[in-house]
Copies of this chain bind each other. A is one copy, B any other.
Amino acid sequence: MTASASHSPAADTLSYEQAGVNYDLIDPLKVAAQRAAAATAGHLAGHGFSEVPASRGESAYVVDVGPFYLASIVECLGSKALVADEMKALTGKSYYAGIAQDTIAMAVNDLITVGATPLVVQAYWAAGGSDWFADAQRAQALVEGWKKACDVCGVAWGGGETPALAGIVESGRIDLAASCTGIINPKTRLSVGDALGAGDAIVLLSSSGIHANGLSLARKLVERLPQGYLTEIEPGLTYGEALLAPTTLYSPVTEALAKAGVTMHYCANITGHGWRKLLRHPSSLSYRIHSVPAVPPVLKFIQQHAKQDDREAYSTLNMGAGFALFVKAGDAERTVEIAKAQGVDAIVAGVVEASASKQVLIEPINVRFGDDDLQLR
């Protein structure tokens, strides 16, 4: 449960807030829920266990169950399925195999940030009525894509729920989410930031596109495009197709790193707050970025047409970096090689430095985010 700081965008800039999500209304609930949730941790003692307090506020919740740690999470796809529905109407193609991968990625990519090996995924597919399932091609694509993503991540698909929720979910739509359970084993793999410090290297893993964050903005932008989703962002590639590139699954990289003996000092899944997520760790550290990855064409296109400056774009979208790994400097190059061996491009992007105040400095584009730009806890 995360809260977002607000921006002051220029007059014709299309910001995330303008795209329809009002965090001012959600945040009080989140704060109340976080407090109530924290007050339940003591129940674990009744079973002989305890929480890892540092995991509160991290992307997954961690419990010490003795021989190893247990990590769990539930994550929502968000509104990306609406793009798939629009594109189906325009092209006749089903994009739900990719949507399935996106949904699993939302859960798995968060779970691995704490050092967990994902073991079991559960499917939550809540349709707006039984009719949703009558499109056999779409339903089959969802099943096949879900299985394929499980195969890539080496997780067992345990089961799930496929309710028909007429009156709650809109007719013709589906609310997709995934829960994921994993273990941190050996316990030294726990990654909640204790090891992060000055001198560490920042390795950025490439994204495949917009992933599943920023879609409200991307959908809003369609109104400004004369050909809508069928607008070509480069020859032969429509805006809609490009948006629907499935989210990269990063667990093969984190598992390969563990096997190779590379310790993650910390990591951050770069999602709804763009590069502000690099400020996730509570310590007062400076993150100096000397190299930025190539920006996927669809994100360049969004930035241009939403008339966002670099500061706005990097604070909202992943801009080519889907996942950040913080490792000791001597492990940086090896981390890049291991990621590439798993088919995920990566660069050594920067360095962690001691600092009087928390900040990320993206030198190639001359952008700085300070502590005020991200309140996640």
Q: Which residues of A contact B (CB under 8 A)?
A: 1, 20-23, 25-26, 28-30, 32-34, 36-37, 39-41, 43-44, 46-47, 49, 51, 56, 61, 63, 65-68, 70, 72-76, 78-79, 81-82, 117, 119-120, 122-124, 126, 129-131, 133-134, 136, 139-140, 142-144, 146-147, 150-151, 153-170, 173-175, 177, 179, 181, 183
Q: Which residue of B lies closest to A73 (CB)?
A: B122
Shortest CB–CB separation between residue A350 and chain B, in angstroms? 29
The residues of B that contact A177 with a CB separation of less than 8 Å are: 74, 124, 126, 161, 177
The residues of B that contact A47 with a CB separation of less than 8 Å are: 117, 119, 154
Knowing A40-B156, A157-B40, A160-B1 touch, does A120 contact B63 (C-beta < 8 A)? yes
**Protomer copies:** 2
Q: With a 10 A CB-CB cut-off, give which of A146, A147, A153, A157 has the most chain B CB atoms.
A: A157
Q: In the complex, A166 Cα to B20 Cα: how many Å?
A: 8
Q: Which residue of B lies closest to A46 (CB)?
A: B154
A72's contact among B46, B126, B181, by CB below 8 Å, is which? B181
Q: In the complex, A123 Cα to B296 Cα: how many Å?
A: 33
| Residue pair B179, A28 in contact (C-beta under 8 Å) | no
A25's contact among B34, B40, B131, B167, by CB below 8 Å, is which? B131
| Residue pair A161, B130 in contact (C-beta under 8 Å) | no
Knowing A32-B140, A175-B175 touch, does A66 contact B65 (C-beta < 8 A)? no
| Residue pair A168, B37 in contact (C-beta under 8 Å) | no
| Residue pair B122, A72 in contact (C-beta under 8 Å) | yes
The residues of B that contact A117 with a CB separation of less than 8 Å are: 47
Shortest CB–CB separation between residue A317 and chain B, in angstroms? 18
The residues of B that contact A173 with a CB separation of less than 8 Å are: 167-168
Q: In the complex, A133 Cα to B28 Cα: how many Å?
A: 8
Interface contacts beyond A29-B143, A72-B181, A179-B179: sample of 4 additional A-B pairs, CB < 8 Å, sorted by A: A36-B157, A74-B179, A79-B167, A161-B177
Q: In the complex, A140 Cα to B32 Cα: how many Å?
A: 8
| Residue pair B40, A1 in contact (C-beta under 8 Å) | no
A162's contact among B1, B65, B82, by CB below 8 Å, is which? B1
| Residue pair A36, B161 in contact (C-beta under 8 Å) | no
| Residue pair B1, A165 in contact (C-beta under 8 Å) | no
| Residue pair B29, A63 in contact (C-beta under 8 Å) | no
Shortest CB–CB separation between residue A254 and chain B, in angstroms? 13
| Residue pair A175, B134 in contact (C-beta under 8 Å) | no
Shortest CB–CB separation between residue A329 and chain B, in angstroms? 30
| Residue pair A126, B160 in contact (C-beta under 8 Å) | no
The residues of B that contact A164 with a CB separation of less than 8 Å are: 20-22, 26
Q: In the complex, A89 Cα to B74 Cα: how many Å?
A: 31
Q: In the complex, A29 Cα to B123 Cα: how many Å?
A: 13
| Residue pair A165, B154 in contact (C-beta under 8 Å) | no
Knowing A78-B165, A119-B44, A123-B33 touch, does A181 contact B70 (C-beta < 8 A)? yes
The residues of B that contact A183 with a CB separation of less than 8 Å are: 65, 70
| Residue pair B70, A67 in contact (C-beta under 8 Å) | no
Q: In the complex, A150 Cα to B364 Cα: how many Å?
A: 48
| Residue pair A162, B73 in contact (C-beta under 8 Å) | no
The residues of B that contact A82 with a CB separation of less than 8 Å are: 167-168
The residues of B that contact A81 with a CB separation of less than 8 Å are: 168
| Residue pair A169, B167 in contact (C-beta under 8 Å) | no
